Amino acid sequence: MKLPNIQIKKILYATDLSETAVHAFSYAVSIANMYGAGITILHVLAEFPGEQFILNMINPGTWEEIKMRHYSEARDKLISKKKDHIAIKEVLQAFSEEVNTGEKDQTFVTDEILIKNGAPAEIIVQTAKEQNCDLIVMGTHGQGVIADVLIGSTAKWVVKQSPIPVLVIRLP
Residue 8 lies in a domain: no
Residue 73 lies in a domain: yes
pTM: 0.73
User: Residue 116: in which H helix or E strand, if any?
Assistant: strand 109-117
Signed CA dihedral, 72, 76, 82, 83: sign only: positive
DSSP 46: S
Residue 162 lies in a domain: yes
Tell me the residue type at 107. T
Q: Which residues pair with 109 in a beta bridge?
A: 38
Closest CA to 39 of 156, 127, 122: 127
One digit per residue, pLDDT tens: the chain, 172 residues? Answer: 899 899 999 999 999 888 888 899 999 999 999 999 999 999 987 655 566 667 777 788 887 787 777 666 655 554 444 455 677 788 888 888 887 776 666 667 888 999 888 888 999 999 999 999 999 999 987 544 444 444 568 888 999 999 999 999 988 8
**48, exposed or middle or buried, with CB in 10 Å at 0-12, 13-18, 19+?**
middle
Residue 66 lies in a domain: yes
Find the domain containing 136 and state its range: 13-169
Domain count, the chain: 1
Per-residue pLDDT of 144-164, as tens digits, reads 444 444 456 888 899 999 999
Q: What's the rounded Cα separation, in Å, for the pair 155 and 139?
A: 8
Report the CATH number at residue 99: 3.40.50.620
Signed CA dihedral, 59, 101, 104, 132: sign only: positive
Residue 6 lies in a domain: no
